[in-house]
Amino acid sequence: MKRPLALFALAAVILAVPPAHGDQAGAREKLAQDGIAFAPEAFLQKVAEGDAAHVALFLEAGIDPSARTATGRTALWLAVERRQLEALKTLLAGGVAPNEKNAPSLDGGKSIVFEAVDTGDAAFVRALAEAGADVRKANDYEVPPLSEAARVGNLEMCEVLLKAGADPNAAPAGFPLIYGPVNENHLDVVRLLLKSGAKLGEHKPALVEAATTPEMRALLEAAE
C-alpha cells in the first residue's frame, strides 16, 4: 500500500512543478494559436492594453523589449503612460531593465521615473526603483522626480524615491526642492525631507516666510 501512495505523491509533485522558461519556439507557437503575430507592433499593443499574460509570452519568445512606437515609446514607457501596472511588473520581472535602451528619456528630457511620478501611484515608482531605475535623473529643466512628488504632497512616493537614493537637497534652477511642499503646505513631506537630510541654509528666511501655517513655520524655524 505504501508504494502506490508514494508514487502518487511523487506524481503530484512533478505535476506541480512549473514548466521551464526560455522555450522560445513554444512561446511563439502559443502566440500564433492566439492569433497574435510575433512582431514589435503586436507586442507594444499588448503592453498598452495591459495584457500581462501575452506580454510575458512575447518576452519568452524573444521579442526585443527596446522596440519603439512611432513616437519613441518603448514597452516600459507604454506600461507607465497607460497606467498598466501589471504589464510593467511583468516586463521588469522578465528582465527588461529600465535603462536608457529600454526606457530612454523623452520630451523635455523627462525620465520614466518622472512619468511614474505623474501617475500619482507610488506602486509605479516603487517597481521602477526596485528594478534599478535612476531616480535622481532630472529633466532638461533640472527638475528631478522627487521635486514633483514632494510638490504634490505624495508622501509614500517621496519615501520610495528617498530610499532609492533621491537627493533631498536637489535645487532645480537654484531653488531647493523643499520650496514646493512648503508652498503647498505639505507638512508631512517637509518633515520627511528634513529627516532625510534636507538643509535650508541661506534659503531659511524665505522658506519660513513662505510658511502658511504655524506648524510649518515652527518646523522650519527649528531646522538648519
C-alpha cell at 86: 501589471
Q: Is the pLDDT reported for residue 13 higher than 60?
A: no
In a domain, 53, yes or no: no
pLDDT bin (cut points 50, 70, 90) of residue 173 is confident
C-alpha cell at 52: 500581462
Domain limits for position 188? 175-224
In a domain, 203, yes or no: yes
The pLDDT mean for the chain works out to 92
In a domain, 190, yes or no: yes
C-alpha cell at 220: 522650519
In a domain, 127, yes or no: no
The one-letter amino acid at 74: T
Which pLDDT does position 3 carry in this prediction?
42
In a domain, 39, yes or no: no
Q: Please count the structural domains in the chain.
A: 1
**Three-state DSSP state, 94:** coil
Q: Is the pLDDT reported for residue 151 higher than 60?
A: yes
pLDDT bin (cut points 50, 70, 90) of residue 22 is low
Per-residue pLDDT tens digits for 32-59: 999 999 999 999 999 999 999 999 999 9
Question: What is 14-80 written as a DSSP string?
Answer: HHHSPPPS--HHHHHHHHHHTT--SSHHHHHHHHHHT-HHHHHHHHHTT--TT---TTS--HHHHHH
In a domain, 204, yes or no: yes
In a domain, 205, yes or no: yes
In a domain, 206, yes or no: yes
Which conformational region is residue 213 in: left (phi greater than 0), alpha (psi within -120 to 50 degrees), or beta? beta
Whose CA is closest to 133, among 94, 172, 105? Answer: 105
Per-residue pLDDT tens digits for 202-215: 999 999 999 999 99
Per-residue pLDDT tens digits for 95-117: 999 999 999 999 999 999 999 99
C-alpha cell at 187: 507638512
Q: Is the pLDDT reported for residue 2 higher than 80?
A: no
For residues 206 and 182, the answer to whether their CB atoms sit within 8 Å is: no
194 Cα distance to chain centroid: 24
